[in-house]
Amino acid sequence: MRPESPTRPEARLPGEGSRYGRVVVCVGAAGIDLVALQVAAGLAVGLRATLAGIYVEEERLQRVAVLPFTREFSLHSPGARDFSLSDLRRSQRSQADQLRRTLAALAEPMSLIWTMDIVQGDLPGASFARMSATDLMVVGRPQLLPPAGETRMASTGKPYPAALSRHPVAVLYDGSQEGLRALAAALALVRITGSDLVVVVVADDNASFQIRKRQAEHQLDAVRAHFHRATTGNWQAAEQAAMAHGATALIRPRSDADDTGTSGDVLPTFSSCSLVLIP
């Protein structure tokens, strides 16, 4: 094993010789895009982790459903119709069943261990409350899942994981141990998908950027990578770099704001790629 140095650190998973417990995907009434689930499955394979789906029965929707004036509007029929708590629960059961079938269709061909839980609460608070210190979370854009027969097909028409190979994976690297774990997870994913890597280096000056860029390059082996710079706390620049390359996911360390659910207003802005939060 090569010795560590301040400028040539080693990217490792949490704990010496350990592995992540779960790659967690939390889904509510708005659904989640299939690509996010494929990213989660790829991470679970690459990191030897369990693929875990959590369906959140959102309490705020239940509070709305019991109001006497609540109506439902549909794109498939004109006008509005009455919408009750029983209608909501029936819809939630259907969505949870679809998530379960999708997870099974992704996991079983790759011999992945997978789980599915149903909880009550509000996103994202209920999601983070279910996370352990060794869990990753994948956040995807709201989107209804496709029918079960289309589960393993992405927009490219290729079966998973080849469907993700045309698009790179982006990672936020800040030189910290958490940043190294994010880089290690990104490398695990691109080795499964065969994608390029986009490394967004957090640095407030060019000298820091060059040091951290060399640190990241030390981990890459034969992986093809593109480098960008973002200043501290500039999430928008990191997102723009990921979107500019058409990345399927942006992987970054999990923050205290994420764990308390206070970053919930920020997460939905990732409309064109999934967000992966690393402990």
Tens digits of pLDDT across the chain (279 residues): 333 333 444 444 443 334 689 999 988 878 888 889 999 999 999 999 999 999 988 766 555 554 454 544 444 445 445 556 676 677 778 888 999 999 999 998 888 999 999 888 777 777 788 888 899 999 988 877 766 555 544 444 455 666 788 899 999 999 999 999 999 999 999 999 999 999 999 999 999 999 999 999 999 988 999 999 999 988 888 888 999 999 999 999 987 666 554 444 444 444 578 999 998
Which residues lie closer than 8 Å to 52 by C-beta, 6 or more apart?
Answer: 22, 23, 24, 25, 114, 115, 116, 117, 135
| pLDDT attached to residue 60 | 66
* Global pTM value: 0.80
pLDDT of amino acid 229 = 95
Q: How far apart are alpha carbons 274 and 83 in whole angstroms? A: 32
Instruction: Enumerate the CATH 3.40.50.620 domain ranges in the chain, comma separated.
Output: 20-153, 165-279
| CA 177 to the chain's CA centroid | 20
Number of Cβ atoms within 10 Å of the Cβ of 59 = 12
The pLDDT assigned to 3 comes to 35
CATH class of 20-153: alpha beta
Which value, to the nearest 10 degrees, does the dihedral of the CA atoms of residues 105, 106, 111, 112 take?
Answer: -120
Name the one residue in this structure whose structure tokens are 């360390």. Answer: 253
Helix (H) or strand (E) holding 71: strand 71-74
Q: What are φ and ψ of residue 229, in 5° steps?
A: -115, 140
* pLDDT given at position 61: 57
Per CATH, the number for 165-279 is 3.40.50.620
Q: Alpha-carbon distance 58 to 184, whole Å? A: 34
